[in-house]
C-alpha cells in the first residue's frame, strides 16, 4: 500500500495531520480571523461551521486533503488543496493551495513551512501544477511563493473590492514533477 496516506506527519518542527470534521470549528475560526485584515480571502463576513460542513466533506486525503497544524495543544493553521476550474477532468493534475494561519501564530514561519509540506505531498496526490491565488497587496504570500519557486502566470487587476479599495488577484504556479511509478 505504497500510496496509502498516513494520518500524521512531522515536517520540520510541525505536527501536521489530516483534518477531521471535529476540526471544522477551528478551521472556520482561523479562516474567519483572516477576513478583517483583508489579506487572504474575498469573503467580507464571517462564515459558519454549518455553511462549510458540505464543503468540508468534499475533501479526501487521497486527492484533495485538508491538513491542520497542531502547536501548543491547539490548531495553529490549516491548508487544503482544491480542484481547479470546478474539478473538470482535464485539470485533474492541477490544484489550488490555500493556507490560513491563526493570528496567534503569525510571524513564526508556519505558513511557509506548511506550504512546503503541501508541495512535498503533491506527487503522491497526482498534482503536477500547484496554483496559488492571492491579492496583489499580500506581500507575505508573494515573498513565500517567490522563495518556493512559484512563477507569476497572471495578474487580474482591480478584480475585487476589499475594505473599500480595488485590488487585484495574482495567479502563480509551481510545476511539480510527477511521482515516479
For residue 142, give Cα distances in angstroms to 3, 89, 112, 154. 32, 29, 11, 13
Strands (E), 6-116: 8-11, 14-18, 66-71, 74-83, 94-101
**Domain architecture of the chain: domains with CATH:** 8-127 (3.40.630.30)
Question: pLDDT tens digits, residue range 126-174?
Answer: 999 999 999 999 999 999 999 999 999 999 999 999 889 999 999 999 9
96-134: pLDDT as tens digits: 999 999 999 999 999 999 999 999 999 999 999 999 999
For residue 147, how many other CB atoms are within 10 A of its CB? Answer: 11
- Per mean pLDDT, which of 2-6, 13-17, 84-88, 130-134 is the most reliable? 130-134
Q: Is pLDDT at 181 greater than 70 in this prediction?
A: no
Which three three-digit cell numbers place residue 112?
511557509
24-50 per-position pLDDT tens digit: 999 999 999 999 888 888 888 999 999
Amino acid at each position: 500500500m505504497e500510496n496509502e496516506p498516513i494520518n500524521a506527519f512531522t515536517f520540520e518542527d510541525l505536527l501536521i495531520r489530516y483534518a477531521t470534521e471535529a476540526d471544522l470549528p477551528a478551521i472556520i475560526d482561523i479562516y474567519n480571523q483572516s477576513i478583517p485584515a483583508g489579506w487572504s480571502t474575498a469573503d467580507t463576513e464571517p462564515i459558519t461551521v454549518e455553511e462549510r460542513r458540505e464543503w468540508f466533506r468534499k475533501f479526501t486525503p487521497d486527492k484533495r486533503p485538508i491538513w491542520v497544524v497542531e502547536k501548543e495543544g491547539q490548531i495553529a493553521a490549516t491548508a487544503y488543496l482544491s480542484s481547479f476550474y470546478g474539478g473538470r477532468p482535464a485539470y485533474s493534475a492541477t490544484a489550488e493551495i490555500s493556507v490560513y494561519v491563526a493570528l496567534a501564530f503569525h510571524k513564526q514561519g508556519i505558513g511557509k513551512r506548511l506550504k512546503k509540506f503541501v508541495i512535498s505531498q503533491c506527487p503522491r496526490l497526482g498534482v503536477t501544477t500547484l496554483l496559488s491565488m492571492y491579492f496583489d497587496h499580500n506581500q507575505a504570500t508573494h515573498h513565500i511563493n517567490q522563495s518556493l519557486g512559484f512563477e507569476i502566470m497572471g495578474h487580474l487587476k482591480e478584480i475585487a473590492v476589499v475594505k473599500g479599495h480595488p485590488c487585484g488577484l495574482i495567479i502563480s504556479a509551481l510545476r511539480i514533477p510527477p511521482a515516479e511509478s
